[in-house]
Structure 1
Amino acid sequence: MRARTAILCSVADQGVAALTNILVLVAAARLSTVEGFARFSAVYLVFTVLLGVSGAYTGQPLVLRRASGPRAGAKSGTESGTDGGTARDGATAAPGGAPSGGTEHDGRAELGGACRSAVLFTLLAAGTAGLPLAAVCLLLPGDTARALAMLGLVLPVVLGQDTLRYAFSTLQTPHLALAADLVRLAGALGALSAQPHGATAARLVLVWGLSALPALLLSAVLLHRRTAGTPRRMRALLRRGHLGRRFVVEFGVGNATGQLSVLGLGAVGNPLVVGALRGATTLFGPLNVLFTSATSFGPPLLNRLDDDRRRVRAAAVLAAVLAATAAAWAVLLALLPGSAGRQLLGDTWPVAADLLPATGSQYAAMAVGTCGLLALRVLDPRTTLAVQVVFSLLAVVLLAGGYALAGVPGAAWGLCLGSVCKALATWTRVARLRRRPAAGAGPLTPAPAPSRP
C-alpha cells in the first residue's frame, strides 16, 4: 500500500473510532434517564481508563516494531524482546554481501508473531481482570455495580478489538482496521437503536460491548490469514524491560495529573474553574483525537521512511500542520455567534469563550509537543517517560501559579505555558538524539541484550 493511501486510511480509521465513541454516548443519553446516563457515563469512564492502559501497555510498544530488522533507537525494544523486530542470527547472505530474503522473511514472521501475541495477551489479561470484576460487582447492590459487572463481562471483547487495530497498523494494513471499525460503528449504533427508552445502564453496557463481537471476529479472521504459523511469545510482554511499563506510567502521569490538578483547584478554590477549563477543552475534542492518533498510530507510518532524518522531518511537518489546524479551529470557535456557542455548552459558553485565546494557544503548542514525542518514540522510545513526568508536573505548578495570579484565565495561560515548555523540551531532545551518531556516539541500536531495563 502506498504511503499516502496508508495515511488516509489511518486517519479515517481514527475518525471512525472517535465517531463511534461520540455516537455511543449520544445514543445512551437519548435512551437513558438523567440518572441512568450518569451511571453509564461513569462506567464508560472506567472503560476509557482501561482502554488507555491497555493501549499503552500492549498497543503502543507493538506499533514501534518494524518487519525488516532493528531500527535506530529501538534499543529498549531489543532489550525487552518485544519491540523492534530483529533479523535472525543464522541468516545467509547473498553474493556480494547483501542479506538474503531469509532475513526479511524472518523479520516479517517475527512481526506477525508479535501481533498475534499482543492480541492473545490482551484477551487473556482482559478476561483475568474482567471476570473477577463482574463476579464482585454482581454481589454488590446498586445499578452502577451491575453496570460495572456487565463491563467486566464484555471487557475482553472491547479491548481485544482495539488491540487488533494496533496489530493492523503495525502490519501496515490500516485499511483492514478501517473496515473492522466501520463494522464496529454499524454494530454499536444498530444494537443501541434497538433498545427501549429508559433502558438501564447495565443493559446498555452489555449491548454496547457485545455489539463489538462482529468486528472482533472479522479482525481475528483477517489477522489469522496474515500471521498464521508465526511464533507467539507472550512471555516477552511480561519481561522487566517491556516498553509498555513505561508507557503506562506516561499515560497515568500525562492524563491523570492534569485532570486531578483541575479538580483540586475546583475543590480548594473556585468550583467554576473546573467547568470553565473543561468546557474550553471540550471544544477542542477533535484535536485530541488527532493528537492521540499521532502518537499511537504514527510510528508505522514514519517507519515507512528510509532514515531517521526523513522521519524527524516528517514529524516536524506534521507538527506544523497540526499547530496550524489548532490555530484555525480556535479562530473558528472565536467567530461563533453566542447563540451557537450556547447550543454547544449552554451556560458554560461565556466563560469558556473567554479562555479560547489561551486554550487555542495551548493546543497549538500541544500539537508541536505531541509530534516531538512521536519523533522520540521512533528515535528512542525510552526517552519519553522523563519528558512526560517532568513537564506534566511543571504544568500543574504553572496551572496553580496562573490561577493564584489571575484567576481562571491565569490558570488557562499557565497550562498553555506548560505545553510550550514541553514542546521545546521534546524537540530539544530530538535534536540531541539526531546529533549523537554524527558526534561519533555510534548507532542508537545496540546488539541484542538480555531483558534488562
Structure 2
Amino acid sequence: MTDREGPAGTDTPARLGTRLAVLCSVADQGVAALTNIVVLVVAARLSSAAGFSVFSLVYTVFTVLLGLSVSYVGQALVLERGTSAGVRGACCSAVVFTACASTATGGLMAAVLFLVPGGDTARGLAVLGLVLPVVLTQDAMRYCFSTLHLPHFALTADLVRLAAAVPALAVQPQGAGPARLVAVWGLSAIPALAVGAALLAPRLRGVPADSRRFLRRGHLGKRFVLEFAVGNAAGQLAIVGLGLFAAPLAVGALRGVTTLFGPMNVLFNASTAFGPPILNRYPDASRKVRATALLAAALAAVAALWATVLITLPDRLGRELLGDTWAASSALLPATGSQYAAMGLGTCALLTLRVLRPRATLPIQVVFSLLSVAFMLTGYAQGGVLGAAWGLCLGSVLKGSAAWLRIVSVRREALLPSEAAPDGSRGGRDRRASGADDAPR
C-alpha cells in the first residue's frame, strides 16, 4: 500500500504524503501545546494568585489523568498493526472505552467531591469530574486519526478546540472562580469533540467496538502506564500534594513558570514522536548516538536561550502574561531554565535508548523520577518553592546523566568485534542494540 492509498475496504480518503503527514502531526502537537499555554495564561490573568493556584492544582490533576489515558489507550493504539478492519475496530474500541472509563471516573469524582467541604479546591476538582468525559474522549480521537494516517483531521479538531477555548475563557469576568474557569475550559471542548466525531464516524461506520480488549492480559497500555506513572505522574502528584498539604501558592508559581516554557515542551514532544523513525534510518548504533547527541546539544542551547529571554523580560510584560502570579514565577526562572536545559539532554538520551534498547528506559525512569520527587520535597523543606524548583532541576540533571551513561554502555556492546558475522553483516549484538528483540509485537 502506498502513501497515497487509503485503507483497503474503507471510504477513507487518500492518505497524506509522508512529509505532509509529519508536518500536520507536528502542527497538531504545536496547536495542542499552544492551547494549554493560552488556557493557563488567560486563567492567570483573570485570577488572583490564590485563585490561579487552585486552578493550577486542578489542571495538574487533569494532566495526570490525561497522561494515564494517553498511556493506556493512545500509545497502545498507535502501535496497532494488521488488517484495515482490525485497525478500524481498535480505533472504535478506543473511543468507546475512553468515553465509558472517563464517564465512570469523572462521575465518581464529582459525586464524592461535591460532598467534601474542601472549598474552591474540592469544587474545582468536582467540576473537572463532570467535564472529564468531554476532554478525554476528544483527545482519544486525536490518536485514532494518527492510527488511521489522518493527522490533518486531528489538526482540524485541535484548531477548533483552540478557537473555542480562548474566547470562551477570555470573556469571563475578572476574578472568576477556579470552578467556573474549569467548567468553561472543559465545555469549550464540545465543538472539537463534535467535529472529531463527524470526521471519524464515516471511517468507523459498521465497525463493532470491543472495549474489553483494553482489559485483557498483555495489553501494552499497562506497561506504558507504568512508565508514565514513574516518569511523570509521580512528580505531578507530588506537586499536587505540595499544594494540598503545604503551600497552595507554590503550585501556582511552579505551574506559571512551566507555562512560560511551553514552547520547549512542543520541541521535546516532537523529538520523541518523530525521532525514532528518523533514527532507524541510520544503519548502526554509533550514527544514531551522534545524531541524538547533536539534537540534545541543540535543545539544551535553545532552552538556555529561551530562559535568558524570559529572565530579561520586563516585569510589565511578565504581568501581562501571568498577572499576579508573575512575581512568584519570575523568581524561579533561573532554576526552571536550567531544568529545561537538562531536560533537553535527558529527553534525547531516553529517545536514544528507546531506539537502541527499549527495555533500558524503565529502570532509569523509576529510580530518577522518584529521586526527583525526593529532591523537590527536600528542596521545598530547605528553601521553599525556589528550593523545590532547584530540586527538580537536580533530578533532571541526574536522570539525563544516567541515561547517557547507559547509552555509552549500550554503544560499547554494539561495537564489540563479536558482533561481526563472517559475511561482514551485523551479528546478534547489533540486532539487540537496535531494539529489535525488545520491540513490542
Structure-2 separation of matches of 1:232 and 1:372: 38
Number of the residue aligned with 1:329? 306
**Does 2:160 correspond to 1:183?**
yes
- The alpha-carbon deviation at position 23 of structure 1 amounts to 3.0
Number of the residue aligned with 1:74? none
- Pair 1:390–1:124, CA change in 2 (3 A): same
Unmatched runs of 5 consecutive residues or more in structure 2: 1-15, 420-425
- The alpha-carbon deviation at position 173 of structure 1 amounts to 2.9
Number of the residue aligned with 2:199? 222
Number of the residue aligned with 1:116? 92
TM-score, length of structure 2 as denominator length: 0.72
- Pair 1:57–1:367, CA change in 2 (3 A): same
Number of the residue aligned with 2:39? 24
- The alpha-carbon deviation at position 388 of structure 1 amounts to 0.5
> 1:390-416 CA distances to partner (integer Å, 9 max, x unpaired)?
122344566678899999988766654
> 1:110-140 CA distances to partner (integer Å, 9 max, x unpaired)?
4333333222221111012122333334455
Letter in 1 for 2:198: V
Number of the residue aligned with 1:352? 332
TM-score, length of structure 1 as denominator length: 0.70
Larger RCO (CA under 8 A, 6+ residues apart): 1
Structure-1 separation of matches of 2:121 and 2:389: 34
Structure-1 separation of matches of 2:395 and 2:280: 32
Q: Give the one of 97, 101, 115 matched to 1:125.
A: 101
Letter in 2 for 1:14: Q
Structure-2 separation of matches of 1:36 and 1:272: 9
> 1:318-355 CA distances to partner (integer Å, 9 max, x unpaired)?
434322311221332344456656766644367435xx
Structure-1 separation of matches of 2:136 and 2:172: 23
Q: Give the one of 119, 134, 137 matched to 1:160.
A: 137
- Pair 1:121–1:340, CA change in 2 (3 A): same
- Pair 1:307–1:7, CA change in 2 (3 A): farther
Number of the residue aligned with 1:48? 63
- The alpha-carbon deviation at position 269 of structure 1 amounts to 12
Q: Give the one of 425, 428, 431 matched to 1:440.
A: 428
Number of the residue aligned with 1:11? 26
Structure-2 separation of matches of 1:284 and 1:215: 26
Q: Give the one of 398, 408, 427 matched to 1:421.
A: 398
Unmatched runs of 5 consecutive residues or more in structure 1: 66-83, 88-105
Alignment root-mean-square deviation, CA = 4.5
Letter in 2 for 1:158: V
Tell whether the 8 Å contact from 1:402 to 1:412 is kept in structure 2 after alignment: yes
- Pair 1:233–1:386, CA change in 2 (3 A): farther
Structure-2 separation of matches of 1:411 and 1:39: 18
Structure-2 separation of matches of 1:224 and 1:199: 37
Number of the residue aligned with 2:110? 134
What number of residue pairs does the alignment pair up? 407
Structure-2 separation of matches of 1:422 and 1:316: 16
Structure-1 separation of matches of 2:206 and 2:288: 32
- The alpha-carbon deviation at position 386 of structure 1 amounts to 1.2
Deviates more, 1:381-390 or 1:25-34: 25-34
- Pair 1:130–1:350, CA change in 2 (3 A): closer
Structure-2 separation of matches of 1:408 and 1:39: 16
- The alpha-carbon deviation at position 219 of structure 1 amounts to 1.5
